């Protein structure tokens, strides 16, 4: 019983960290394509994906936004949950990347990921101390 609760706790945290890592990749791709004509900035709706994780759904999901679109494949794990970001300020070449927004979100996500890592390290360290009787 105790093992399953520990597994559940760590599994949830691992999924949150995986979600943050996937978002970091999407944001980095936006930054890398800041000068690519017609590139559309994308992001992961973190709150929506976190809600799915909290409700017990595993992995990320992709929305089918139109009936004529193909249904998302469950195997496309890296691209799931990724959506085009609303345009803050378009450019003449059709690129929707705003470097100020991208850098701010990249930095914020990075800080939160590091906080998650520190939290997990603290939990594991506490468990190690408890097991060793300290």
d(CA 76, CA 37): 26
The token pair that represents 40 in the structure block: 């559309």
Q: How many CB atoms lie within 10 A of CB 82?
A: 21
The token pair that represents 52 in the structure block: 């799915």
Can you say how many angstroms the Cα of residue 127 is from the centroid of all Cα atoms in its chain?
27
Whole-number pLDDT of residue 77: 38
d(CA 88, CA 12): 33
**Interhelix angle for 2-32 vs 46-54, to 10°?**
160
Whole-number pLDDT of residue 47: 87
Whole-number pLDDT of residue 79: 47
Domain range annotation of the chain: 10-132
Contact (CB, 8 A) for 50 and 16: yes
In sequence order, what are the beta bridge partners of 86?
A: none
- pLDDT one digit per residue (tens) for the chain, 134 residues: 455 777 777 888 888 899 999 999 999 999 999 999 999 999 998 888 888 888 877 555 455 565 665 554 443 334 468 888 888 777 899 999 999 999 999 999 999 999 999 999 998 888 888 888 87
d(CA 43, CA 23): 7
pTM assigned to the model: 0.73
């Amino acid at each position: 019983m105790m093992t399953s609760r520990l597994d559940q706790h760590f599994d949830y945290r691992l999924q949150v960290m995986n979600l943050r890592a996937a978002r970091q990749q999407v944001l980095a791709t936006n930054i890398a394509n800041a000068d690519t004509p017609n590139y559309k900035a994308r992001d992961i709706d973190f709150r929506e994906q976190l809600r799915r994780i909290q409700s017990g759904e595993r992995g990320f999901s992709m929305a089918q936004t139109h009936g004529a679109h193909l249904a998302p494949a469950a195997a496309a794990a890296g691209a799931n949950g990724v959506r085009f970001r609303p345009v803050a300020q378009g450019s003449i070449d059709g690129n929707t990347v705003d470097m100020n927004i991208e850098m701010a979100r990249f930095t914020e996500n990075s800080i939160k990921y590091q906080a998650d890592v520190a939290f997990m390290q603290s939990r594991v360290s506490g468990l190690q101390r408890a097991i060793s009787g300290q």
